[in-house]
Amino acid sequence: MNLDARLREALALLKRSAGYASAYPSIGGHKLNDEICRFREAVQAELEINTQQAEEETHG
């Protein structure tokens, strides 16, 4: 996924989390944290794959 798509996804996550927090104050923070963790894990995995592919291309 490109940077622009990731930024749009992050913005959508923030908008959803604001909705959770206002609708369900007691659980909104937990749901937000879970979504942020999943988003971060997905981005980190994607970065690792891209880094590995770049290294393979560089070192042939």
Look at residue 27 in the predicted model and tell me its pLDDT: 66
C-beta neighbour count of 38 within 10 angstroms: 11
Tell me how many domains the chain contains. 1
Look at residue 1 in the predicted model and tell me its pLDDT: 66
Please list, in sequence order, all residues whose beta carbon lies within 8 angstroms of the beta carbon of residue 13, skipping any fewer than 6 positions away. 35, 36, 39
Look at residue 25 in the predicted model and tell me its pLDDT: 65
| Residue 7 lies in domain | 3-59
Look at residue 21 in the predicted model and tell me its pLDDT: 67
CA distances from 56 to 42, 44, 45, 60 (A): 21, 18, 17, 5
Q: How far apart are CA 50 and CA 40, in angstroms?
A: 15
Q: How far apart are CA 52 and CA 9, in angstroms?
A: 24
Look at residue 28 in the predicted model and tell me its pLDDT: 60
Low-confidence residues of the chain, pLDDT below 70?
1, 20-22, 24-29
